[in-house]
Structures are given as C-alpha cells and as structure tokens.
Amino acid sequence: MRALVVDPSKAARTHLRRILEDAGFEAGEASEGLEALELVRKAHDHEPYELLVLEWHSGDLSGLDLARTIRAEAGARGPRPLMVSHETTLAHVRAALAAGVDEYAMKPFTREVIFEKLALLGLVVP
C-alpha cells in the first residue's frame, strides 16, 4: 500500500512516514498541498496512493482544500484522507469531515493513535 504525508514540517513528515512504514506502507512526502496534488494525479493511473495524511496548514493549498479537490476528482476511488493537525476545535473536525476527510487525529499524537485511525479506515489490521 502507498501513502503520502503532506505537512510543511520536515520533522512531522518524517515521524509520520516512519509510523506508516511500520504499518506496512510505502510512504512518500510532500511539503505543500500543490506538490501533493501533482503527486496524487501522477500516481492515479499507475501506482495510486491508498492513504493521504494531511496537515490542515500545508502551504499553498490547505489540507482541507486538498481533500476537497481529490474527492471531487477521484471520488470514492481516490486515496483515503486522514487529517493530522494542531487544529483541535470541533468546528475544524466537522469542516474536515464535510470536505471529505475520513478520519481526524489531533497533534500531538502517538503511534498508537495513528494505528487506530488506520484500522478505522480499514487499512491495517488492529
């Protein structure tokens, strides 16, 4: 399975990538939303991503807008968006879910929380 981690923080991307690799994913990284969108579009026909891990604040295209765009383009066939963010209000969580995000984890998080979210998405066995 393939995953793409989108976060402006190199440390956050590396931490999440390692967790995903421990879960059996081949994980890539993007520092900004437009870069991620381009990678997802290029991968769509050949080796699509099954999971996108998005930070709300991802530079030139927010994680929220990235989730909306990918849902509009790929629908249910696209990668499953998981938002992992410092935005912790109920309004943010609701907005993310309304935009097409499947699960939401708040920073700081533990490895166990990410594994639980992956299990809820049906991407790993708990």
Q: What is the chain's pLDDT, residue by residue, as a tens digit (126 residues)?
A: 999 999 999 999 999 999 999 999 999 999 999 999 999 999 988 999 999 999 999 999 999 999 999 999 988 789 999 999 999 999 999 999 999 999 999 999 999 999 999 999 999 876
> Does residue 58 lie within any of the structural domains?
yes
Amino acid identity at 37:
L
DSSP state of 66: H
The answer to whether the beta carbons of residues 50 and 3 sit under 8 Å apart is yes
Domain count, the chain: 1
Query: Where would I find the beta strands (DSSP E) of 13-106?
Result: 26-30, 51-54, 80-85, 103-106
> Does residue 12 lie within any of the structural domains?
no
CB atoms within 10 A of CB 113: 15
> Does residue 104 lie within any of the structural domains?
yes
pTM of the model: 0.95
The residue range of the domain holding 60 is 50-81+100-109
